[in-house]
Structure 1
Amino acid sequence: MPKPLAGKTIFLTGTQKIQTIAEQVEEYGGKVLAFPLITIQERISWDDEERICNSAKYDWLIFTSQNAVEHYMNKLRRANLSPSAISCKIAAVGIKTAKALQDEGFDIDFMPTIFSADRFVQEFPGNAVDVHCLFLRGSLAKSTIRDALLCDEWTVYETVETTEHVGALAESLLQEKEPVVIFASPSAVRIYAKYIVPDLHWRYVTVASIGHITTAVLKEYGARVDVQPSVYTMQAVIERLIGGVSS
């Protein structure tokens, strides 16, 4: 019986762990290659311990990525504290973010129906009352949550664009018959558009996007987005590809 991903190569441009994805893609006849165009690093400051202690005083902590969870936990452990010391309510954007928090011992009190900042502020239960929130964010996060909820922010990690894998990515794309490139962030799109697109036009690849913000940036750079699932996860993209989505 033909496998739906036979002959297709899935290119990942972010920092996601790929083992589970690779196994699933291979099961359906394809293969996965990872060429990260961004890297993540913790932002460390002299007042981290003080800020960790102060974070316990908020009504809500808001996490929109696994990276925010990881680096918040790094700071918590360095302060010799555990999640049991944090009595705030917890808001998470995305299944993976929620799972990362639960794995650390947190309960999830709110998660929006669509994993985006726009939907978060519309559905957040505290948006009409006087609550004190802290948004744990990355350096490139938009101000949507801060502006809508008038909350405090703490940048716990940096997203750094990298060109280390650009040459290998371009070479591999040229060697594959049916390349599918998955973008999970606007940052990866910008690097790809700057270094890859001038020599290898968008039309030579199937473009998949995670999230409407990433899709909007892809379109700004002239890409046609072939796959964008309504659920903003890597798993949902793979499921759409397995289902034979091509446009």
Structure 2
Amino acid sequence: MSDPNFPLQGETVIFTGSTEPAEAMERVEELGGKAVYLPLIETAIRQSELPDFSAYEWLIFTSRNSAEAFCLLHAPVDSKIAAVGEKTAEVLEQNGYSVSFMPSIYSADRFIEEFPQVVGEARCLFIKGSLAKNTIASMAMPVDEWVIYETTLNIENAKKLTAMKNAVVLFASPSAVSAYREAGGDWQEIKVAAIGHVTQNAILQNDGHVDFIPEKYTILDALNEIVKGS
């Protein structure tokens, strides 16, 4: 019988996002497990001319990476800000920006359902990474896009992951799924956690399986689901 105080004893949880989730990794260790950080994607700020932010009523961020890159600019803006996800909003607010809109579920799909109903025909700028999908730009309202950072797949780390078995692997984006599959990952002898239904769909479309998906799309909530299933 497992120790209820250490429900992850004997478990290895592998985090694959571009930012090391220190809080979640510490929690894994506290619960008796082994936390491994193996990023499958890398980001680098793109050097490009800044847009005229004053031309937009709203700036839209759907990832922590885009928020962090934007905050490095220290750009004064009068635009309202929309953010998808607690961590995205947290980065912006910690840097002095006020977030005026967040969707009820932290996904671009839910964002495009709720955002137009709130703001009408406002002109928007979507600040994004190079591999971001065009979901936001598909809204029936004026949306321009600005690529603030480049995303690349870390195939070397993905190859390391394909050799790791008997672990729980947490995927937070379709890009991480792409890296794993490109490296030959076959989903065998691992449990899979997905953050968000878009990532879940990417896994299923690549012949994978999803054992854990949190109702709220955050890393800590995904970890809670892993604990429940241990």
Cα deviation, residue 111, structure 1:
0.2
What residue in structure 1 maps to residue 68 of structure 2? 70
- What SS does the corresponding residue of 1:115 show, helix, strand or coil? coil
1:67-117 superposed Cα distances (whole Å, 9 cap, x missing partner): 11111122x33xxx4xxx311111010000010010011111100000111
Count matched residues.
226
Q: Supply the AA of the counterpart residue of 1:55.
A: F
Match of 2:84 in 1: 93
The CA distance in 1 between the partners of 2:219 and 2:19, in whole Å, is 9
Compute the displacement of 1:150 (Å): 2.9
- Aligned: 1:8 with 2:6: no
Q: Among 22, 41, 66, which residue is 2:25 paired with?
A: 22
1:129 equivalent in structure 2:
120
CA positional deviation for 1:167: 4.0
In 2, Cα distance between the equivalents of 1:22 and 1:104? 24
1:36 aligns to what? 39
| Alpha-carbon distance in structure 2 between the residues aligned to 1:102 and 1:226 | 33
Does the CA contact (< 8 Å) of 1:4 and 1:244 recur in 2? no
SS in 2 for 1:154: strand
Separation in structure 1 between the aligned mates of residue 158 and residue 56 of structure 2, nearest angstrom: 42
**Which of 148, 152, 157 is the aligned partner of 1:160?**
152
Report the more deviating stretch, 157-166 or 219-228. Answer: 157-166
Question: Any stretches of 5+ residues in structure 1 without a counterpart?
Answer: none
Of 114-123 and 16-25, more deviation after overlay is shown by 16-25
1:151, distance to aligned residue in structure 2 (A): 0.6
Are the aligned partners of 1:25 and 1:32 in contact in 2 as well (CA < 8 Å)?
Answer: yes
The answer (yes or no) to whether the contact 1:62–1:90 under 8 Å persists in 2 is yes
Give the 3-state SS of the residue equivalent to 1:208 in structure 2: strand
Equivalent residues in 2 for 1:84-233, closer than 5 Å: 85-125=76-116, 129-148=120-139, 149-171=141-163, 173-174=164-165, 178-197=166-185, 201-233=186-218
Change (3 A) 1:203 1:162: closer
Give the 4+ runs in structure 1 shifted more than 6 A.
none
Structure 1 residues 134 and 226, CA gap change in structure 2 (3 angstroms):
same
One-letter identity of the residue aligned with 1:239 = N
Q: State the AA in 1 paired with 2:85.
A: G
Relative to the length of structure 2, the TM-score reads 0.92
2:209 matches 1:236 = no
Q: TM (normalized to structure 1)?
A: 0.86
Picking from 54, 59, 62, the partner of 1:61 is 59
Which of structures 1 and 2 has the bigger CA Rg? 1
The Cα of 1:128 is off from its aligned counterpart by 6.5
Secondary structure at the counterpart of residue 213 of structure 2: coil
Task: Give the AA of the match of 2:64.
Answer: Q
